[in-house]
Every structure is written in C-alpha cells, then in structure tokens.
Structure 1
C-alpha cells in the first residue's frame, strides 16, 4: 500500500536500525513521512534502514545516540534539531515512536541492581524525558506511540524487571494522553507479542521454539515486524485521530 497518508509529516522512530523499529520506519516512510531513524550503537544497520527507505522512494536520515542517560536524550534532540532545520527549515515534528528498548535474560532471582537500573534508564526514563523535552517540538495534532509489550497482561515472571518497565510505559501512555489531549495529540501504546526478529532468532528459529511460539497465538503463527508496523501506521495516521490513551494488543491473541 502506498496511500501517502503521512505526506508532509515528520516522524521520529527510536531504535529503528533493525527489527520492529526498522519495520515501523519503513512503513511510515512508505506512507510519505520524512523519518528520523534513530540508533544506539548500530550505525551500519541504521544506514541500511535509510538506504532501504530511499530505494523505495522515501526520505529518511539516521541519528545516533545511546539512550541510557539524559545526555543521550539531549544528544538525540540536538542532532534532530540540526537535521530538521537543514531539511525542512523547522525543528518541529509530528510523530514520535518510542520503540528503543533493551531486554534481559536474567531471572527474577538473578537480576542485580545494575541490570535493573539499566532497564529502567533505557525503557522508561528515556521515553519519559524524550517526550518531556519534545513538547515544544511536537506539533499540535501529532502522535506519540509507545512500544510496550504483551507481557503487561500475561504473567511471565522469568523476566520480571523487563515486564515492570513495560507496565510503566502503559501508565505513562494513559496519563500522557490526558495531558496532551487539549493539543489534539493522541498517545497510544502498542503491545507486541513474540515477533520474528534477530533478537529472538536464536530460539525462535529452532523447530521446538517455533512450534512453542506459534502455539501461543490464537492465529497460529509468529508475528512479523510488518504486523506491528501496520498497527503503528494506523495510530500515526488520520484514521487514528479518535483513539488515544489505549493499549493496543498486537500479540496475535497470545494466551487468550
């Protein structure tokens, strides 16, 4: 589909160098948005995402900043300001997708303070302050879309610290929607389940892992980045104008 519903819009997608973030960046660019492709460490992967967008006739540029501190948030916004002013004459943008995040393989018993703090720094603190410091940049009528997780409605205690960060994102989404509603800005969370990305490849691409993951979904398959990207594109588009403060389940009906 190439309906260009986002033509003349500017979108910022954090963690867009690969996986779900890459899928979202590609989809928003296909809709006509100028996309800022953020990455933490993988500049090569981010540039590949930008090249894919350009090859498809879209427009995009890459921004590098590690989002484990406020310095990283400020670095992202400073670079973004420079790029947008150079390209559009303004540092204003329309869509912010808070996708960047980190996970953990540590169990509840094994999680230490350093791991806990890092998870909350990247998964919660960075989105909080990125939105806060973007309030003057985000246009009225814009969109904030936070990538949460289906683990917020499913008991999965093995990765409890990670799950807590996504629960915080859902709460952030609800209150931010109320706060920004008077400006016509919608705020929603999208909650993926298991998605076929390189992060999950080691176990998902085994016969046992694939069968287990497919069995979790009511639809009998594993999610793809495009499945999540299409939901984000809806929330970012004019079609999503009357949906705000919602947690949009994107698990394919996992654990119903």
Structure 2
C-alpha cells in the first residue's frame, strides 16, 4: 500500500523535470532553427506536462544506464535530454521536421548531451532502431489523422528486444464526455461554421488499450490516468511479450499497477 501511495504522489507532482535551459538561449535556438514556436512552450513548461514526465520517469526507474531508448516524434529532444541528465547514454530519436531536428542538435550541443537523431516518419519508419530496450511516444500520435495505437505497436514491436518496453500516452475516452470535445480546442469561441475538427483524432479507454496491447503482442505493466486535465490523458507502460504466459518483472512495477487522479 505504501508503494502505491508513493507512486501515486510522485506521478502527480512532477518535481525534477525542468531541463534547466537558460530562457534566452532557448529562445535564440528556437528562432534560429525555424522550429515551430510551440517547442518553446513545451520545453519551458515541461515539468507541468505530467503525461510527458511520467512516461520518462517510469523508464528511468526500471532501465539501466546502458539501455537503448528510442523516441519517434522526438521533436526538440527534450525527453531525451532529461534521460541523458539521469545517466542514460544510448539515446536515439527521429522526427519528420528538419527544423525540429536542427533545434534538437543545437540544444544537445548547448547541454553537452550525446543523442543520435535522424529524419523519419514516426508512423511508417524507414529506419527504425534495432534491439531497443525501450521506446517512448508521447504527445503526438493522437494528433495524426488516420493514426492508431494498434498500427504504432505493430510498427515498432520488431524494433524492441524481447521484454522491451513502450511508454506512451493516449487521450482517454473520458474526453468524449466533455462539451465541445469534437471541435478543435482552440476554436471553441468561434462560430461553429469556422471551427476545425478536434486535434485529438482518437481516444481510448483503459479496456481498449488493454485489448489493443494484447492483440499486438504487449501487456500493460503500469498505467496512470489524469482525469483533471483537458483533454484527459492516460499514460501506459507496455511490455513486449513472446507468448500469452510470459511475464517479466521490473523493480517497483508489479503487473497491473495503476493510478488514477
């Protein structure tokens, strides 16, 4: 019980997730790279984006420093930098945006971090990693029209070693009950004729994630649902399994551990 309480509190108070990049340097590099301005917001406010922090923290807790961690859709590399600061040495990422990759490399040089990044399509990778210990995917998949968790898991399962992990987030099915959820959240004050469809292209309940994971050769090792934010999100730690009976334990993460806020 004490472990569950400790995990619950730690997941919801994201201390220690600020990257410590000087604001002036960050603003200069974002501008010079040509990357989308939202990268500035995402980095400066990273410690309050709990779905991002929790996914990274779970991997940091259970993996050794020599683990190979890959992030498709890595953007500016903020998650990789956080992991590097905790001693991880084999960090890779990909993104479609050349500007974001330039920003990532510039920030890596500023912070003296070693990360390997390349241009690739996160949903249809031409150059996926091999033998990764873990993959992290947060804050992008549900923004892609036509994307699905099932397709993502199918695409990256071969990139993981047996027993490898995927830390990912989804927009929770509870968001379907929020008034105006089918409209783009930035357009809710506009007349309906001028509103765009929601930027959150799919939503999944815990039962749906469990079913999809099982069908694609994974099992849920841990989950945390954040019910107070908008949209409501949930984070999952999935483990690749080779058979229905296989089970692998990681310190602190018994099967089925969950948390809800």
Q: TM-score, with normalisation over the residues of structure 2?
A: 0.49
Higher relative contact order (CA 8 A, sep 6+): 1
Scaled by the length of structure 1, the TM-score of the pair is 0.49
